[in-house]
Structure 1
Amino acid sequence: MSSPPTDETTGKIDTTVNEEELESSNTRTLTGWVKKTFTIIAVIGAIFHLYILNLHPIDPWVFRSTHLVFGLVLGLMLYPGWRTKSNKVPIIDWILIIISIYVGYYIFANLEQLIFRVGVAPTDMDVYVALAGLLLVFEITRRTSGWVLPIIASVFVVYVFAGPYLPGILHHTGYSVERFVTYIYSLNGVFGVTLAVSSKYIILFIIFGAFLQKSGVGQYFINVAFSIAGGLRGGPAKVAIFSSGLMGMINGTSAGNVVATGSLTIPLMKKTGYPSRFAAATEATASAGGQLLPPIMGAGAFLMAEVTGIPYSEIIIAAIIPAVLYFISVYFMVDFQAIKEGLRGLPRKQLPSFKYIIKKVYLFIPVLLLIVMLVSGFSVIFAGTAGIISCFILSLLSKETRMSIKDLIGAFELGMRDSLQLIAIVACAGIIVGVISLTGVGQRFSTMLLSIADTNIFLALLFAMALAVLLGMGMPTTAAYAVAASTVAPGLINIGMEPLFAHMFVFYYAVISAITPPVALAAFAAAGISGTNPMKTGVKAFQIGLAAFIVPFVFVYSPELLLQSENIMGTILATVTAIIGVYLLAAAVQAWFFGNKAGWLSRLILLGASLMFIWTGFQTDIIAIALVVIAIVIQKAAKNSNPPHSEQKADLSQ
């Protein structure tokens, strides 16, 4: 087994990743004056956002349209419209850039009139500008994220005009082209809640993430993860869980996080003996799960607060236990795999030294400061900005991490560069949300859910789960949740579910759609790094993340898991039994229990026991205990009948 590179002075694993390696293969390599122009625009864009958010608020429509203009201009410069080896920005893209700027200027110059006439009595110029804006949104989304989201949005657009000819709940009276394009390219659609969250929160935390990376704080997180978990059996896989969870919390896309952290963790997992497919699936599952992790939740918490009006602090508190259950489940999955494969951890000498970790512990301050400020009631914008400033200040304390002016400019540029895909995605998702609002199809889905719930609420939840996952396939979490929140969540609320529970339910399935076949974006990204079959990697990621498919159903019936119960002892008991449940779930999935390989009968019994433990209730716990006893008896009998050497492989010290 080859060892990972280490720094001879600190003993830490070199986790520095060449930024060029992380760039998507579909981006141009800008050079010369174009590169300098891109950098200048990106730096101006980042500073503009921080200035407006903190010091000089402007009209929301103007701010969001300017936010989109920065995304369009930079995106058209960076992402080519077709496959080509040339890195030159063609004349057509410069024309599109000029049109993008004009569309933004038109909104700024005609704001007072547009507020009253869009979607009602638009002028011809309003229509032309809105149509150009919509086409630009489709094009930049196609370039940055592929065809899936634009095609889904196009289906919704077609529905606007096909509605009069459709039967049943899909029928509506129809709309003119003029009314449609101006309605959608306004605060009702593209510039609605999704782009509001992108311009206020997502961009802020992506810049924060860029500062973490440039200041060395992000690398320190990974080094801490290696120091804590690298020496455990199958250590690199456990490192992937910690590091990808932390970075995924800040990163707004599961696939993007896979590329950022998986380029290090997947090769290390393979080197220590994990099968390539399992290594890729573990990284995908951990990266997706990072968006379930408070306090940032990949910007999901902010979007949920914006959509529902529920206080941000209440959302992140409710998300704690389900997120812990998810990551504990994934941890047990990789631990059982390590036992089965007979894997050991990395030698202590190859891991970051404790002395180095303790010496640099102050690098945790930006994240701790962020969490404390958010929980204490400071505004999200103020807390995020304080985190960015603290990253810069703390970097100055050490020559190793000190940010120069070049690094500062690089952090601003990286923040804007990393936000381009998300800006495009949320703008395109805004089209879908706008169509849902315009046609009222979301309310029709609510009526359908209500009719199903009259028969069986559990059946309605199954239908809602399937719909949320289906809508989320091929889309990043932010877009997936925005669409599900507009279609599925209102239906769940109408059948009597509390808004927090309904939105947390659909948010979970929006997140795990990234590891759900047949279109599992995070798993596909990980498969590309590990060189494995994407579909089979998706199936394996689905298995590893299975707990995330079960927990939402449980917290709907068990408010203790969302910390919504006043019974403290009941909450503690529910949490403990749920942890035992996810352990047994991992045992069932990995076919290993009580020191021996588990047969199908044992696995079925363990699966039943895990569900009974996860489900809150005294009676279900008793049933679960009885099932575990039966499984232990079966496993003990099987163990006694196996040759002695089969036990030795599993008997590995942590």
Structure 2
Amino acid sequence: MTAREPDPMDLAIADGVDDEAIETNRRLYQGWRFYAVSALATIYAAFHMAALNGVSISDWTGIEIPFLPTFPMETWNFRIVHVAGALFLGFILFASTAFDDEREVRERPVLNWLAVALMLPALFSLGAAIWFAFQIAGGLTWNGIDATIQFWEIWYFGVPLMVATAGGIVLSWFHRRRRDAVAPTDLLLGVCGFAVAAYLITIYGTLMRNSTGTPFAPIGISLAALAGTLLIMELTRRVAGLALVIIATVFLAYVFLGHYLPGFLNSPEIGWARFFSQVYTDAGILGPTTAVSSTYIILFIIFAAFLQASKVGDYFVNFAFAAAGRARGGPAKVAIFASGLMGMINGTSAGNVVATGSLTIPLMKKVGYKKQTSGAVEAAASTGGQIMPPIMGAGAFIMAEITGIPYTDIAIAAIIPAVLYFVSVYFMVDFEAAKLGMRGMRDDELPRVKTMAKRAFLFLPIIILIAALFMGYSVIRAGTLATISAAVVSWLTPYRMGLPSIVKAFELAGIMSIQIIAVCACAGIIVGVISLTGVGARFSNLLLGLAGVSQLLALFFAMCIAILLGMGMPTTAAYAVAASVVAPGLVELGIPTLTAHFFVFYFAVLSAITPPVALASYAAAGISGANPMETSVASFKIGIAAFIVPFMFFYNSAILMEGTWFEVLRAAVTATVGVFLLSAGVQGWFLGGRAAWFVRVGLIAAALFMIEGGWTTDLIGIGLAAAGWLVQRVFHPDPDARLEVKGAD
């Protein structure tokens, strides 16, 4: 009996990549609670898949079932349900504080009773919203100026809802329950979310949708939106931290204090009722960010969950190890490939660091990389996944939604910049490995390339996705086909997806989607403030004034604002906010829309590795055990080319595939040489040896000339690089020599 060849899907090298990460404040239910919450998450994700593809139970059975939605749903109603479902799931799954499994939880019964007491006004407000629906269906004319209706909305709906919402949020900060127990305060907040949704669906179903922002808007819209805003911000705090909540709070404060501010920050005085009657519409929370999260983002989260359930993610990482593991510093190069691929799909740099970094960071340390360098490589690679077409961490879909530019045009334009970024990161880690004399991994530590090649069909879901998109299928149809194909190809592996696995994949998708939905809704608050106060237009005027002095200065200022607004936020939210504030100003400067939006998109993404608030770097430092600030500085250094590439868009539009094939090809080649020289100069390693400081300076200067894109500058760059090569080969300068200042005692 001969020994069986190890199955590549069973190799321990990628073990855990597809495991679900458990957050510190995540509840871990057991028994009937586990099955109930799992069922809710499954139904939530499956509802989106059905709604996006226009499939309902009645279509399959031919039987109309009361109270079940029919598809396609009305757009605003779909988005309201999308947010409300995430709120309910989010509150029962994520506690207000982190759990300490080593300490016994001391519950306070009085807080339980207070939460139960607050449930009464929450249910009362929900019942009032349903009663309003019956009144309107019975022919009652609803408007915002009838005194009787105002009384109903304030005292039957608004006041009970605000008491329950505000009281529930405050109680939840002090309330403690076991990790496997449902907290009454969180259940209360979920009911409040449903009350907000029930009212808005009822009122927006009438002509009252057109009255938002006017004196005719029912006061209930403002009260529901105020409660909904508080719920969204509280859930965002639980799943994404305080950064975005603080920024949203600052913007909300600006609405009511902006008329006191001087200069371009001054805004007209806006009453709270008028503002909140508009913020929960497509001008704010239900606008572009929620439009994308309710369609493209959740669809690709479902796709990622199917890849995870079918263990295809394991294969991606194993394939990367087989292809690049033997090279010097192999695990770092594997991180570039695997993290870029996985990060493209999952839409969050920090989340991807946790998923793939738990494997790649220890291996990088094992072959000789420093702790901070190991974390920095993973952070830079995971961040790069957000700019990798065709999915770009869902950023491409938000850009298409905001700009109106076809998705395929955006995906094609992103190819060369993404290649430049990953080529630069590759050179950085390769030169670092060369300086340190690192080896690759041994053959017996790696999967066999030949064996992995036999499973290359597992790339089919990605190939089908790309092919369908460029064949003209809609993004929803292409994503659905790719998701189905992930289940189909699993039947050719030991991890066949049956009905239980498919249900599990939908459950995973429902849970995975909560963070990004909350973040997109919270970003919608900021977008609403920007659009309703006009601060974006005033910022555009500021950029125009700076451009009168220097366009480069205006671009640098725009870069700083985009990075600042993106700090602490996932890709989608960071870009949405930056696109609302910075991009219109760049367009006013005469920069093409696509170029302007790519500019802010890149810098919003790069905020994840930019000190001092570098979420991806901090997540990597947590795994590597390095100092977070040192890791963020190292990741900034490794990703340095990405901070230059957006300026290339401005000076050389061929980088974005605009121009003749010759122009595009020349721009790609010269820019690639440029990032090679930049990496050599930053790392101090050039053509097989360490470079002296003045050679490094010359290489960086040559890189900047090559990246600019003109014939003259290309020739200057080539000349400087050639001079550096001659100095290196002929004179062999001492790389450890330092510049001495004469005359110093």
TM-score, shorter chain, exceeding 0.5: yes
- Tell me the residue number matched to 1:289: 384
The alpha-carbon distance between structure 1 residues 641 and 529, as it changes in their structure 2 partners (threshold 3 A), is: closer
The CA distance in 2 between the partners of 1:402 and 1:177, in whole Å, is: 55
Cα deviation code 1:153-197 (max 9, x no counterpart):
000000000011111111122111111112112221111110000
Give the Å deviation of 1:641: 6.3
Cα deviation code 1:456-513 (max 9, x no counterpart):
1111111111111111111111111101111100000011011000001100001101
Bigger shift: 590-599 or 116-125?
116-125
The structure with higher relative contact order (CA 8 Å, sep 6+) is 1
Match of 2:291 among 172, 188, 196: 196
Aligned AA (2:708)? W
Aligned AA (2:51)? I
Matched, 1:419 2:434: no
- Tell me the residue number matched to 1:503: 597
Cα deviation code 1:536-591 (max 9, x no counterpart):
1000000000001001101211011111012x222212211111111111111111
The CA distance in 2 between the partners of 1:560 and 1:9, in whole Å, is: 45
Matched, 1:97 2:219: no
Give the Å deviation of 1:640: 7.2
Aligned AA (1:119)? G
The CA distance in 2 between the partners of 1:341 and 1:377, in whole Å, is: 48
Q: Is the 8 A contact 1:7 1:14 kept in 2?
A: no
Aligned AA (2:271)? S
Give the Å deviation of 1:74: 1.1
- Tell me the residue number matched to 1:651: none
- Tell me the residue number matched to 1:646: none
The CA distance in 1 between the partners of 2:284 and 2:731, in whole Å, is: 61
Cα deviation code 1:103-149 (max 9, x no counterpart):
11222222223412332233232222111111100100000011110
Give the Å deviation of 1:418: 1.1
Aligned AA (2:259)? P
- Tell me the residue number matched to 2:683: 590
Give the Å deviation of 1:242: 0.4
Aligned AA (1:47)? A
Matched, 1:562 2:656: yes
Match of 2:476 among 381, 392, 395: 381
Q: CA RMSD in A?
A: 1.7
The CA distance in 2 between the partners of 1:602 and 1:311, in whole Å, is: 45
Give the Å deviation of 1:355: 3.1
Q: Is the 8 A contact 1:13 1:352 kept in 2?
A: no
The SS at the match of 1:14 is helix
- Tell me the residue number matched to 2:140: none
The SS at the match of 1:110 is helix
Q: Is the 8 A contact 1:13 1:350 kept in 2?
A: no
Cα deviation code 1:612-650 (max 9, x no counterpart):
11111111121112211222233235647699xxxxxxx
- Tell me the residue number matched to 1:44: 43
1:149-298 alignment, distance < 5 Å: 149-298=244-393
Structure 2: runs of 5+ lacking an equivalent: 55-70, 101-177, 737-745
What TM-score do the two structures reach when normalised by structure 2? 0.83
Matched, 1:109 2:124: no
The CA distance in 2 between the partners of 1:576 and 1:172, in whole Å, is: 48
The CA distance in 1 between the partners of 2:469 and 2:17, in whole Å, is: 32
Q: Is the 8 A contact 1:156 1:432 kept in 2?
A: yes
**Rg: which structure is higher?**
2
The alpha-carbon distance between structure 1 residues 7 and 546, as it changes in their structure 2 partners (threshold 3 A), is: farther
Match of 1:626 among 695, 708, 719: 719
Match of 1:339 among 434, 443, 457: 434
The alpha-carbon distance between structure 1 residues 395 and 199, as it changes in their structure 2 partners (threshold 3 A), is: same
Q: Is the 8 A contact 1:588 1:603 kept in 2?
A: yes
- Tell me the residue number matched to 2:108: none
Matched, 1:461 2:555: yes
Bigger shift: 307-316 or 25-34?
25-34
The CA distance in 2 between the partners of 1:267 and 1:585, in whole Å, is: 28
The alpha-carbon distance between structure 1 residues 49 and 636, as it changes in their structure 2 partners (threshold 3 A), is: same
What TM-score do the two structures reach when normalised by structure 1? 0.95
Q: Is the 8 A contact 1:13 1:351 kept in 2?
A: no
The CA distance in 2 between the partners of 1:174 and 1:404, in whole Å, is: 58
The SS at the match of 1:481 is helix
The CA distance in 1 between the partners of 2:712 and 2:543, in whole Å, is: 30
The alpha-carbon distance between structure 1 residues 391 and 353, as it changes in their structure 2 partners (threshold 3 A), is: same
The alpha-carbon distance between structure 1 residues 595 and 180, as it changes in their structure 2 partners (threshold 3 A), is: same
Q: Is the 8 A contact 1:235 1:345 kept in 2?
A: yes
Give the Å deviation of 1:358: 2.1
Give the Å deviation of 1:377: 1.2
- Tell me the residue number matched to 1:3: none
- Tell me the residue number matched to 1:63: 78
The SS at the match of 1:396 is helix
Aligned AA (2:715)? I
The SS at the match of 1:22 is coil
The CA distance in 2 between the partners of 1:540 and 1:7, in whole Å, is: 41
The alpha-carbon distance between structure 1 residues 548 and 290, as it changes in their structure 2 partners (threshold 3 A), is: same
The alpha-carbon distance between structure 1 residues 25 and 336, as it changes in their structure 2 partners (threshold 3 A), is: same
The CA distance in 2 between the partners of 1:7 and 1:468, in whole Å, is: 52
Q: Is the 8 A contact 2:17 2:356 kept in 1?
A: no
Bigger shift: 206-215 or 126-135?
126-135
1:391-470 alignment, distance < 5 Å: 391-398=486-493, 400-470=494-564
Matched, 1:489 2:583: yes
The alpha-carbon distance between structure 1 residues 642 and 334, as it changes in their structure 2 partners (threshold 3 A), is: closer
The CA distance in 2 between the partners of 1:600 and 1:12, in whole Å, is: 45
Give percent identity, aligned residues only: 52
